[in-house]
């Protein structure tokens, strides 16, 4: 359902620090599957996730999402698609400081024009599902690492996307929390979500929830993986 | 309605974001308010003064005739009244007696004017409230006047009058004709000037021309001319101050630009996150618009309110000397409050518009932060 | 020059608007030259970011332009006591030869700005920016008009000296003086009335037809432009008379004054609104064939048509009501 054809991404074109992040990427990603992108840092995993997740436009190549070509869509439309289809969990969580957990969860949905009251209710439910009901009105600065991550996951789910993208989610977690994280991912997959995770953590790519592992190096795919 | 909800949501977020950076926004709002305050004070003040002048002149005669001698204002013979009465369109001609008197005790210049009411009350005067307030020795109820030949005349204060226009009451003393002539030594045959009431206002210019033809040593002054001159002078004075304040406005624009462009790392991060989680560039621009609107509206209204209080309740303590001019005797007086949409409109263009333009490009720069960059930090 | 605060404000305002527009035009040039939506290169991404800036600049400029149009007339009206012979804006504008051209340019720029915003809105809603080149071409052609307005307004205000004798609207808008205004006034009243009502009715009917049947877009647009011009003529010729209750007072500016309950503002507001939205329909017609706009344009045009009908309708109601309640019977 997500198809990448000959994707190339270059940064700083024409300048001395020109850098080719992705080269000749060809993938077909299927729905309701959990795919892990494995590789050392600098291999292009993060760039690939942002291209797939409509956060960045490829320099050349084509992307199809559910058979709709989205390669040259203007930002306005790309963002709308991204908001409805993808939910992001970042490596550093990137929660907005100074506001509460629930406000963080609601933030992605503000531009959608949903009524505040119903939005807040849904956000509360999501936090509840992740065991954070007691922390709803806490400032994010006061949350522990694991709690912050769960808030980030709740935030990614607020717009009811079909795909969850997570970039090195376990980088700042200990083993116990990492395993808990994969449990949550497994639950989401069972609910029908598609998962795309970039990680070089064995706990992630050896988890039983994972269907496919794609290996990357220097911006290219070196092992397209097979379905386990 | 989704559009409406969206505005509400984003406005809500904007308010919380402004409050999160209290220091910076407080400085900005304070400076902004001060700028509006200065400009609005100048505008209110000059406008109110203009209105006062118009009010003072409301009951003035349409035409005044003065006699000129070697280019200076001289006493006018009452015989000229006959000539003037003959002119077609002139309804009534009156002789006026008035002049200035300097009182060394109080260090003040008074305007003495002969009033019909005191015709049979020689020996008494009526003084304006403003005069009375600063008069030394008023408890005695008698004011001494030094006449033209060095002797003294003592006139009893029979009443104190007030006027809607404080300008009138602050230096006016009404006196009887007999006392006036005695004080200044003006013969019965002459008056200070003559006033005409004209039936048809459209014929003013024609009549004025005739006056000059018939009485070549006189100068007719139209009330409208006076009004125009006042207007122009007040505008000029107010304008000079504004031009000086222009420097303030320029500094303000630079300041606004700097504040808007100097996003802290924290702010940049926040916008990056918003874009990463699904806010479009136009959503960020909307947020920036609301930010600007909230700051502008609160500063504009506060500045207006403060200026209003300043001018109309504290007699513009900060501006008086520059704008009013030359007289020492300027007691506190209350200007009649006056404000209209026109002034507000002009103020808007002088403050809110430059502020908005100064922050546009920095806002846009902030809004076009690449969400991608957030992923890689 | 008169150091009136509002004049300073208008000069500053127009300088800023001129600056914003020149900046927008400058960047519009690079967009015209190098735009290529298919490419994902950084240059293209930079250009796309630029269009946001330009849209924002234009939106603000247009907003300020509208306000400055009304502030200009208010100021000019307010200054009339300073000039011998002037009793309202008509006289003040006549003080030097730059007054009326400035005013006309302001109105024209307002309309052009409004049309640009409509085009911009349509372009942004489509997924491939189909009108981008035409849009910036239009922007580049509007820019000289705006710069001309800044210059003319500056020359006008700098040339205002309070002792210049000018004529009041009573002499400007009479039949004896040479000029466009007098030609309008000497037109026999009845034919003008008939033409006015006829054009308004035609426009409203065409509008309704266009709204329901989604056809005749060009016709309606043309009709709304013609109606705009005819309405102005009608205002000077006989409609204003009912406000002043004087058969000889033809001035179109005096109705903006307080003694006539500021009736001029809703009148000109609705008239301008009707004209811009009506003309917007016609502006968009040639692009209905473009694939990405096929779904978008018809509803947009319908909304514009509705807005135009509403505005013109309101204008007509105001004018007819005044005629009925006026003490003047012609």
Chain B residues whose beta carbon lies within 8 Å of the beta carbon of residue C56: 285, 360, 363-364
Say if the ipTM goes beyond 0.90: no
Query: Residue with structure tokens 């024609």?
Result: B206
Residue of B nearest to A159 (CA): B278
Q: Are C319 and C241 in contact (CB under 8 A)?
A: no
Residue of A nearest to C40 (CA): A59
Please, is B82 exposed, middle or buried when counting C-beta atoms within 10 Å of its C-beta (0-12, 13-18, 19+)? Answer: exposed
Instruction: Look at residue A10 and give its three-state secondary structure.
Output: strand
Phi-psi sector, B155: left (phi>0), alpha (psi -120 to 50), beta: beta
Query: Residue with structure tokens 């000069």?
Result: C11
Report CB contact under 8 Å: C16, B357: yes
Domains: count for chain B: 2
Give the chains touching A; criterion: ≥3 Cβ pairs < 8 Å: B, C
Which of B191, B221, B251 is the last residue in one of the domains? B221
More confident residue, B323 or A12: A12
pTM of the model: 0.76
Chain A residues whose beta carbon lies within 8 Å of the beta carbon of residue B10: 110-111
- The enclosing domain of A56 has a CATH number of 3.40.50.300
User: Do B341 and B317 fall within a single domain?
Assistant: yes
- A170 pLDDT band, cuts 50/70/90, is confident
Q: Are A4 and C40 in contact (CB under 8 A)?
A: no
**pLDDT tens-digit readout, A59-92:** 888 888 888 888 878 888 888 888 889 999 988 8
User: Do B190 and B283 fall within a single domain?
Assistant: no
* C8 → closest Cβ in B242, B285, B353: B242
- B334 pLDDT band, cuts 50/70/90, is low
**Weakest mean pLDDT among A108-112, B77-81, B257-261, B337-341:** B337-341
Angle at the Cα of B123 from the Cα atoms of B122 and B124, rounded to 5 degrees? 95
Report CB contact under 8 Å: C37, A72: yes
Contacts of C213 (CB under 8 A, 6+ apart): none
Residue A228 lies in a domain: no
pLDDT at C1: 62
pLDDT at A228: 47
User: Do B156 and B301 fall within a single domain?
Assistant: no
Phi-psi sector, C102: left (phi>0), alpha (psi -120 to 50), beta: alpha
CA distance A207 to A216: 19
**pLDDT tens-digit readout, B152-173:** 888 888 888 776 666 666 778 8
Please tell me the distance in Å from B343's CA to the nearest CA on chain C: 7
More confident residue, A110 or B243: A110
More confident residue, B336 or A147: A147
Give the domain extent around B39: 2-57+228-376
User: Do B197 and B261 fall within a single domain?
Assistant: no
More confident residue, A30 or A226: A30
More confident residue, C84 or B307: B307
Please tell me the distance in Å from A146's CA to the nearest CA on chain C: 37
Please tell me the distance in Å from A10's CA to the nearest CA on chain C: 8
User: Do B129 and B185 fall within a single domain?
Assistant: yes
User: Do B180 and B125 fall within a single domain?
Assistant: yes
DSSP state letters, B175-197: E-HHHHHHHHT--TTEESEEEEE
Residue of C nearest to B344 (CA): C6
Judged against a pLDDT cut of 60, whether residue B1 lies above it is answered with yes
Residue A105 lies in a domain: yes
User: Do B46 and B115 fall within a single domain?
Assistant: no
Percent of chain B with pLDDT over 90: 6
Which of B204, B221, B238 is the last residue in one of the domains? B221
Chain C residues whose beta carbon lies within 8 Å of the beta carbon of residue B48: none
**pLDDT tens-digit readout, B206-227:** 888 888 888 888 888 888 777 7
Please tell me the distance in Å from B267's CA to the nearest CA on chain A: 10
Please tell me the distance in Å from C21's CA to the nearest CA on chain B: 11
Give the domain extent around A129: 2-223
User: Do B116 and B185 fall within a single domain?
Assistant: yes
pLDDT at B207: 86
Chain C residues whose beta carbon lies within 8 Å of the beta carbon of residue B361: 53
Q: Which two tokens stand for residue B32?
A: 């902004």
Angle at the Cα of A84 from the Cα atoms of A79 and A88, rounded to 5 degrees? 80
Q: Find the mean pLDDT for residues A192-214.
A: 87
A72–chain C Cβ distance below 8 A for any pair: yes
User: Do B134 and B247 fall within a single domain?
Assistant: no
Element at C244 (helix H, strand E): helix C240-244
Report CB contact under 8 Å: C64, B353: yes
Residue of C nearest to A78 (CA): C127
CA C217 to chain CA mean position, Å = 21
* C81 → closest Cβ in B228, B348, B350: B228
Helices B341-367 and C42-78 pack at an angle, to 10 degrees, of: 180
Report CB contact under 8 Å: C71, B347: no
C15–chain B Cβ distance below 8 A for any pair: no
Query: Which of B375, B376, B377 is the mutation pick for testing A, counting most A CBs within 10 A?
Result: B375
Instruction: Extract the residue ranges of chain C whose pLDDT is less than 70.
Output: 1-3, 40, 162-183, 185, 330
User: Do B240 and B280 fall within a single domain?
Assistant: yes
CA distance A91 to A87: 13
Report CB contact under 8 Å: B354, C4: no
Contacts of B232 (CB under 8 A, 6+ apart): C2, C82, C162
User: Do B51 and B88 fall within a single domain?
Assistant: no
- What residues form DSSP beta bridges with B92? B197
Judged against a pLDDT cut of 60, whether residue B330 lies above it is answered with no
Chain B residues whose beta carbon lies within 8 Å of the beta carbon of residue A83: 278
A44–chain C Cβ distance below 8 A for any pair: no
Q: Of B188, B69, B171, B197, whose CA–CA distance to B113 is shortest?
A: B171
Domains: count for chain A: 1
Report CB contact under 8 Å: C40, A13: no
DSSP state letters, A89-123: E-TT--PPTTSBHHHHHHGGGGGGT--HHHHHHHH
- What residues form DSSP beta bridges with B197? B92
* B278 → closest Cβ in A82, A99, A167: A82
User: Do B251 and B351 fall within a single domain?
Assistant: yes
- A163 pLDDT band, cuts 50/70/90, is very high
**pLDDT tens-digit readout, B80-121:** 888 888 888 888 888 889 888 888 777 777 888 888 877 787
Residue A158 lies in a domain: yes
Judged against a pLDDT cut of 60, whether residue B276 lies above it is answered with yes
Q: Are A163 and A188 in contact (CB under 8 A)?
A: no
The dihedral sign for the CA sequence C200, C203, C207, C213: positive
Which of B171, B204, B221 is the last residue in one of the domains? B221
C145–chain B Cβ distance below 8 A for any pair: no
Judged against a pLDDT cut of 90, whether residue A21 lies above it is answered with no
Residue A201 lies in a domain: yes
Q: Find the mean pLDDT for residues B10-24.
A: 88
CA distance A85 to A65: 10
């Amino acid at each position: 359902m997500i198809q990448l054809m000959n994707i190339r991404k270059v940064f700083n074109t024409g300048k001395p620090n020109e850098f080719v992040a992705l080269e000749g990427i060809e993938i077909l990603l299927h729905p309701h599957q959990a795919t892990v992108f494995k590789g050392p840092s600098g291999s292009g995993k993060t760039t690939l996730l942002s291209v797939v997740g409509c956060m960045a436009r490829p320099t050349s190549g084509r992307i199809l999402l559910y058979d709709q070509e989205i390669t040259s869509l203007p930002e306005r439309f790309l963002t709308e698609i991204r908001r409805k289809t993808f939910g992001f969990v970042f490596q550093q969580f990137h929660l907005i400081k100074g506001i509460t957990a629930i406000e963080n969860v609601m933030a992605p949905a503000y531009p959608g024009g949903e009524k505040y009251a119903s939005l807040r209710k849904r956000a509360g439910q999501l936090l509840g599902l992740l065991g954070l009901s007691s922390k709803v009105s806490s400032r994010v600065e006061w949350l522990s690492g694991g709690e912050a991550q769960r808030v980030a996951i709740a935030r990614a789910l607020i717009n009811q996307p079909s795909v969850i993208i997570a970039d090195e989610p376990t980088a700042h977690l200990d083993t116990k929390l990492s395993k808990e994280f994969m449990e949550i991912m497994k639950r989401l997959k069972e609910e029908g979500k598609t998962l795309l995770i970039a990680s070089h953590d064995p706990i992630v790519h050896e988890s039983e929830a994972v269907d496919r592992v794609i290996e990357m190096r220097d911006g290219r795919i070196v092992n397209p993986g097979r379905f386990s | 309605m989704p559009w409406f909800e969206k505005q509400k949501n984003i406005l809500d977020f904007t308010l919380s974001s402004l409050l999160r950076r209290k220091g910076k926004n407080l400085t900005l709002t304070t400076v902004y308010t001060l700028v509006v305050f200065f400009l609005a004070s100048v505008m209110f003040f000059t406008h109110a003064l203009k209105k006062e002048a118009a009010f003072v002149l409301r009951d003035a005669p349409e035409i005044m005739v003065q006699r000129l001698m070697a280019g200076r204002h001289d006493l006018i013979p009452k015989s000229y009244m006959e000539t003037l009465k003959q002119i077609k369109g002139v309804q009534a001609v009156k002789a006026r007696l008035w002049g200035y008197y300097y009182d060394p005790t109080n260090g003040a210049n008074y305007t003495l004017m002969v009033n019909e009411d005191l015709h049979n009350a020689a020996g008494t005067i009526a003084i304006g409230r403003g005069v009375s307030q600063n008069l030394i020795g008023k408890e005695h109820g008698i004011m001494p006047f030094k006449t033209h030949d060095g002797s003294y005349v003592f006139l009893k204060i029979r009443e104190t009058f007030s006027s809607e226009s404080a300008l009138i009451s602050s230096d006016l003393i009404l006196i009887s004709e007999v006392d006036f002539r005695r004080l200044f030594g003006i013969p019965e045959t002459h008056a200070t000037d003559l006033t005409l009431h004209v039936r048809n206002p459209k014929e003013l210019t024609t009549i004025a021309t005739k006056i000059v033809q018939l009485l070549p040593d006189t100068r007719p002054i139209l009330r409208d001319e006076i009004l125009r001159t006042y207007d122009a002078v007040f505008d000029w004075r107010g304008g000079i101050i504004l031009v000086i304040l222009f420097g303030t406005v320029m500094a303000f624009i630079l300041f606004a630009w700097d504040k808007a462009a100097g996003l802290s790392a924290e702010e940049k991060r926040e916008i990056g996150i918003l874009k990463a989680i699904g806010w479009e560039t136009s959503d960020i621009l909307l947020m920036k618009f609301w930010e600007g609107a909230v700051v502008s509206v609160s500063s504009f209204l506060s500045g207006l309110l403060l200026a209003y209080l300043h001018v109309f309740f504290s007699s513009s303590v900060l501006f008086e000397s520059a704008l009013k001019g030359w007289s020492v005797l300027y007691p506190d007086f209350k200007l009649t409050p006056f404000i209209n949409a026109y002034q507000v409109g002009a103020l808007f263009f002088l403050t809110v518009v430059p502020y908005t333009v100064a922050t546009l490009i920095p806002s846009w720069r902030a809004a076009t932060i690449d969400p991608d960059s957030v992923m890689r930090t | 020059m008169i150091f009136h605060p509002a004049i300073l404000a208008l000069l500053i305002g127009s300088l800023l608007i001129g600056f914003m527009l020149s900046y927008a035009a400058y960047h519009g040039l690079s967009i015209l030259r190098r735009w290529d939506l298919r490419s994902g290169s950084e240059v293209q991404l930079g250009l796309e970011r630029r269009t946001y800036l330009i849209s924002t600049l234009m939106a603000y400029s247009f907003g300020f332009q509208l306000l400055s149009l009304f502030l200009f007339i208010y100021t000019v009206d307010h200054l009339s006591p300073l000039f011998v012979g002037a009793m309202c804006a008509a006289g003040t504008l006549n003080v030097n030869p730059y007054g009326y051209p400035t005013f006309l340019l302001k109105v024209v720029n307002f309309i052009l700005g409004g049309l640009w915003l409509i085009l911009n809105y349509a372009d942004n809603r489509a997924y491939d920016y189909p009108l981008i080149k035409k849009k910036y071409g239009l922007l580049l052609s509007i820019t000289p008009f705006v710069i001309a307005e800044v210059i003319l307004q500056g020359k006008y205000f700098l040339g205002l000296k309070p002792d210049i004798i000018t004529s009041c609207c009573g002499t400007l808008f009479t039949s004896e003086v040479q000029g466009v205004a007098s030609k309008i006034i000497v037109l026999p009243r009845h034919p003008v009335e008939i033409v006015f009502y006829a054009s308004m009715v035609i426009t409203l009917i065409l509008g309704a037809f266009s709204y329901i049947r989604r056809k005749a877009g060009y016709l309606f647009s043309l009709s709304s432009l013609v109606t705009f011009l005819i309405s102005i003529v009608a205002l000077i010729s006989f409609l204003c008379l009912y406000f002043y209750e004087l058969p000889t007072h033809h001035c179109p500016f005096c109705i903006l004054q307080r003694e006539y309950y500021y009736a001029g503002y809703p009148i000109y507001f609705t008239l301008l609104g009707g004209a811009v939205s009506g003309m917007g329909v016609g502006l968009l017609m040639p692009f209905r064939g473009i694939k990405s706009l096929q779904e978008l344009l018809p509803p947009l045009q319908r909304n514009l048509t509705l807005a135009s009908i509403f505005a013109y309708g309101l204008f007509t109601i105001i004018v007819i009501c005044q005629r009925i309640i006026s003490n003047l019977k012609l």
